[in-house]
């Protein structure tokens, strides 16, 4: 490791206040772009599943019965 | 060959194959991202002129490189959907836009933070930086334009045209540091000739560039999967998937 102590790693000779926020914001943005499609997909599937359950209970048949 | 193209146009096949790729690509991407960040932050020596602030390079350059590459993906997909009316190309174009916007945002923001200790300013209306800002607006423009139309076919066409017109900006970004007097330095990594960056800094940088490419691919595929489900929500294959999910 290049830095001698945790303190040195945090401050980076005065550049820590630039480097750490840059990395932090990057990590937040990356997490957001990874999670957004997952959440969208899950929400859609939940909606569709709820619709399926409704039609199934109404007609007594559905995709699930076919499998 | 033709069967491959046929499959490429088949939503359930695309959905399944994207899922199979994501199963290993997501963990690989996360490991590469974390590994590259730790390497760049902890195990490299500081730059002799810029000190530790240069460590921002390991996120700034990869984000900018892939933001540009992502624009090609979006514009080429737009062209394919315009010319050949391929529906899946439209899905790719729509999926690429928000990821490209996020990467351009990272490049601009980390650049501004890096500029403060290095140039003494957060922002200059410099050719490279301004053309990157235009890139961000192009990406956001495609996202917004898509949402603005109720008719999604018209939306796809308008977005494809916008992304193709925006291609003009790409060579400007590449050449901006050569054409205009700029605070921004020219490229340090060259395919031909000697790179002007030390190997100990180059290798973690290359790892991070690869990781960002992988990240873009992951997000693109995930967005495509969500988009496919939505577009095909009335079909049997999507209902089957929804049925499986509801039993879990």
pLDDT at B123: 86
pLDDT at A36: 95
Please tell me the predicted confidence (pLDDT) of residue B51: 81
Residue B92: inside a domain: yes
Q: Is the pLDDT of residue A67 over 60?
A: no
pLDDT at B196 over 80: no
> Which A positions 20-39 lie with beta carbon below 8 A of chain B?
21-23, 25-26, 29-30, 32-34, 36-38
Q: State how far residue A10 is from chain B, nearest Cα, in angstroms.
A: 10
Cβ distance of A37 and B236 shorter than 8 Å: no
Query: What value does the mean pLDDT of chain A take?
Result: 83
Contacts of B222 in chain A (CB under 8 A): 34, 37-38, 41
Q: Is residue B5 situated within a structural domain?
A: no
Which of the residue ranges B97-111, B173-187, B228-242 would you say has the lowest mean pLDDT?
A: B173-187
On average, the pLDDT of chain B sits at 89
Place of tokens 């690509």: B25
Cα(B112)–Cα(B108) distance, rounded to whole angstroms? 6
pLDDT of residue A14: 80
What total of structural domains would you count in chain B? Answer: 1
Q: Which of B41, B238, B247 sits opposite A48 (nearest CB)?
A: B238
Burial of B50 (0-12, 13-18, 19+ CB in 10 A): middle
Kindly write down the DSSP assignment for every residue of B175-195, as one continuous string: HHHHHS--SSPPPS--SSS--
Instruction: Assign B98 a pLDDT band (cuts: 50, 70, 90).
Output: very high
Is B192 in CB contact (< 8 Å) with chain A?
A: no
- Measure Cα distances from A12 to A3, A19, A50, B120, B203 in Å: 8, 8, 53, 18, 21
Tokens encoding B68: 């540009």
The percent of residues above 70 in pLDDT, for chain B, comes to: 95
Q: What is the reported pLDDT for A66?
A: 46
Residue B58 maps to a domain: yes
Residue keyed to tokens 């290049």: A2
Residue pointed to by tokens 């900006």: B169
Does A60 have pLDDT greater than 70? Answer: no
Q: Does residue B86 sit within a domain?
A: yes
- Between A65 and A7, the more confident residue is A7
Domain range for B166 is 14-187+198-238
Q: 3-state SS string over chain A?
A: CCCCCHHHHHHHHHCHHHHHHHHHHHHHHHHHHHHHHHHHHHHHHHHHHHHHHHHHHHHCCCHHHHC
ipTM value: 0.88
Mean pLDDT of B232-241: 90
Q: Give 3-state DSSP helix, strand, coil % of chain B, rounded to 5.
A: 80, 0, 20
Chain-centre distance for alpha carbon B192: 25
Contacts of B45 in chain A (CB under 8 A): 2
> pTM for the whole thing?
0.90
Q: Is residue B4 in some structural domain? A: no
**Coil, helix or strand for B163?**
helix
Q: Is B64 exposed, middle or buried (0-12, 13-18, 19+ CB in 10 A)?
A: buried
pLDDT digits (tens, 9 = 90+) for B122-178: 888 888 899 999 999 999 999 999 999 988 889 999 999 999 999 989 988 888 887
Strand partners, B51: B47
Residue B100 maps to a domain? yes
In a domain, B74, yes or no: yes
CB contact under 8 A, A33 and B99: yes
Q: What is the pLDDT of residues B2-61, one digit of tens each?
A: 677 777 778 999 999 999 999 999 999 999 999 999 999 888 888 877 888 889 999 999
**DSSP code, position B182:** -
Q: What pLDDT is recorded for position B193?
A: 62
Question: For residues B236 and A21, what is the distance between their CA atoms, to the nearest angstrom?
Answer: 47
Any domain includes B192: no
């Amino acid at each position: 490791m290049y830095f001698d102590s945790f303190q040195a790693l945090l401050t980076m000779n005065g550049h820590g206040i630039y480097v750490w926020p840059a990395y932090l914001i990057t990590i937040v943005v990356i997490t957001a772009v990874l999670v957004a499609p997952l959440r969208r997909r899950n929400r859609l599937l939940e909606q569709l599943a709820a619709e399926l359950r409704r039609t199934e209970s109404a007609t007594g048949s559905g995709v699930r019965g076919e499998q | 060959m033709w069967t491959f193209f046929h499959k490429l146009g088949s939503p359930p096949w695309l959905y399944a194959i994207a899922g199979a790729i994501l199963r290993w690509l997501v963990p690989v991407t996360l490991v590469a991202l974390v590994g590259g960040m730790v390497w760049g932050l902890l195990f490299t020596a500081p730059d002799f002129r810029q000190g530790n602030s240069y460590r921002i390079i390991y996120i700034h350059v990869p984000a900018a490189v892939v933001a540009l590459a992502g624009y090609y993906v979006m514009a080429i997909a737009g062209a394919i959907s315009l010319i050949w009316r391929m529906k899946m190309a439209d899905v790719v174009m729509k999926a690429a836009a928000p990821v490209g916007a996020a990467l351009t945002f990272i490049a601009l923001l980390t650049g501004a933070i890096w500029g403060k200790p290095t140039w003494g300013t957060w922002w200059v209306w410099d050719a490279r930086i301004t053309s990157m800002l235009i890139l961000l607006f192009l990406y956001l423009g495609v996202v917004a334009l898509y949402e603005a139309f109720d008719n999604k076919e018209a939306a796809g066409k308008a977005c494809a045209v916008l992304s193709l017109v925006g291609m003009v900006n790409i060579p400007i970004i590449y050449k901006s540091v050569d054409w205009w007097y700029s605070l921004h330095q020219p490229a340090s990594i060259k395919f031909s000739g000697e790179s002007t960056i030390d190997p100990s800094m180059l290798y973690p940088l290359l790892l991070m560039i690869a990781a960002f490419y992988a990240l873009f691919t992951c997000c693109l595929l995930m967005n495509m999967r969500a988009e496919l489900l939505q577009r095909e929500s009335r079909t049997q294959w999507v209902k089957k998937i929804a049925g499986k999910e509801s039993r879990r």
